[in-house]
């Protein structure tokens, strides 16, 4: 496997405020990588430094082995990006925007192709000043993908997209990744990222607290049995007395361990023996959201110590 992007010991301050602390990460060629973390953690700042849009105090950013900085852009010729909101000219049409950005021999073909894939045919010839948030966002994504980049950096690309447009974008990203393109995507819509990303970079307070794969993180989130009974308080006591681990929240949730193959039977048997009626039961796998919240809570505890 080769790495298309490597960042080593990146430090960035705005005035006296330090926002990136020794950030080191790698992005494998052809992978879809999610960059996740709380508001203000430093996701956009990392993306902007990768794109040479802002300077940094120390560290090293390389794309395909070439250094990137505000004064060294060569490697960025094969990078497409959408950061925050796309800067659009209100009196030009979407098609005009694409024409301004399109490069290479088959540019008209590429433009039509991306317009069709993102289902923008109906309004692409209209002036951008009349576009909705989602239409603008799609145009920004189209511009990022237009010139067949090797690496695509998307900051909150699902912002403003309706469910159909979100699915269209997901399918497009998955298709492009199959053809070997690499994506670095930040998003707060974790359920969407869960369907897309195979690798994850988790950032908190300007530091990468974990670089992992989606499957590894989800597996670490465990699985559960969620229950509703005729008397949840009595059910909690009966299950705890029988040795089951329960989560501390208000719901009645049994934590499953790998070693317990008959957990469902045993849980239901325990409740039955206690004379309780089970009204609802669900087997739930850990989600990206729950795994991430656990990790961030753990990081907060370490910051306090």
Ligand X SMILES: Nc1ncnc2c1ncn2[C@@H]1O[C@H](COP(=O)(O)OP(=O)(O)OP(=O)(O)O)[C@@H](O)[C@H]1O
The residues of the shown chain that bind ligand X, judged by CB under 6 A, are 14, 17, 19, 37, 39-45
The phi and psi torsions of 275 (rounded to 5 degrees) equal: 75, 20
* C-alpha separations of 111 from 65, 98, 105, 108, 180 in Å: 30, 7, 12, 5, 20
The rounded distance, in Å, linking the Cα atoms of 30 and 296 is 28
Please, which residue, 25 or 235, has the CB nearer to ligand X?
25
Please, which residue, 55 or 74, has the CB nearer to ligand X?
55
**Which helix (H) or strand (E) segment is 79 a member of?**
strand 79-82
CB of 141 to ligand X, least distance (A): 17
CB of 119 to ligand X, least distance (A): 27
The rounded distance, in Å, linking the Cα atoms of 41 and 18 is 11
Burial per residue of 90-104, b for 16 or more beta-carbon CB atoms within 10 angstroms, e otherwise = eeebbbebbeeebee
Please, which residue, 47 or 271, has the CB nearer to ligand X?
47
CB of 24 to ligand X, least distance (A): 17
The rounded distance, in Å, linking the Cα atoms of 106 and 80 is 17
Please, which residue, 19 or 92, has the CB nearer to ligand X?
19
Please, which residue, 81 or 239, has the CB nearer to ligand X?
81
CB of 87 to ligand X, least distance (A): 16
CA angle 195, 197, 203 (to 5 degrees): 120
Please, which residue, 36 or 135, has the CB nearer to ligand X?
36
Please, which residue, 111 or 141, has the CB nearer to ligand X?
141
The rounded distance, in Å, linking the Cα atoms of 118 and 165 is 7
CB of 289 to ligand X, least distance (A): 15
Centre a 10 Å sphere on the Cβ of residue 214 and count the other Cβ atoms it contains.
20
Yes or no: say if 167 and 4 are a contact pair by the CB < 8 Å rule: no
CB of 242 to ligand X, least distance (A): 43
CB of 281 to ligand X, least distance (A): 37
């Amino acid at each position: 496997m080769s790495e298309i992007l490597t960042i080593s010991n990146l430090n960035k301050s705005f005035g006296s405020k330090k926002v990136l602390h020794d950030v080191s990460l790698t992005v494998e060629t052809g992978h879809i990588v999610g960059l996740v973390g709380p508001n203000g953690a430093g996701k956009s700042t990392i993306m902007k430094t990768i794109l040479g849009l802002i300077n940094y105090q120390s560290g090293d950013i390389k794309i395909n082995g070439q250094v990137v900085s505000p004064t060294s852009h060569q490697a960025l010729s094969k990078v497409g990006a959408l950061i925050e909101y796309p800067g659009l000219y209100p009196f030009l049409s979407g098609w005009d925007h694409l024409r301004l950005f399109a490069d290479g021999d088959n540019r008209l073909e590429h433009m039509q192709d991306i317009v069709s894939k993102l289902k923008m045919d109906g309004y692409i010839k209209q002036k951008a000043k009349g576009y909705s948030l989602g239409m603008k966002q799609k145009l920004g994504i189209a511009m990022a993908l237009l010139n067949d980049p090797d690496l695509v950096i998307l900051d909150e690309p699902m912002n403003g997209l309706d469910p159909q447009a979100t699915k269209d974008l997901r399918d497009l990203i998955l298709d492009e990744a199959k053809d070997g393109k690499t994506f670095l995507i930040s998003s707060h819509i974790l359920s969407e990222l869960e369907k897309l990303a195979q690798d994850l970079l988790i950032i908190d307070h300007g530091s990468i607290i974990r670089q992992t794969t989606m499957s590894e993180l989800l597996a670490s989130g465990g699985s559960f049995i969620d229950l509703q009974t005729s008397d949840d308080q009595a059910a909690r006591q009966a299950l705890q007395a029988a040795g089951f681990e329960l989560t501390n929240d208000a719901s009645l949730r049994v934590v499953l361990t790998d070693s317990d193959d008959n957990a469902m039977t045993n849980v239901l048997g325990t409740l039955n023996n206690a004379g309780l009626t089970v009204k609802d039961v669900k087997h739930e796998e850990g989600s990206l959201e729950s795994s991430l919240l656990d990790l961030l809570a753990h990081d907060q505890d370490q910051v306090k110590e």
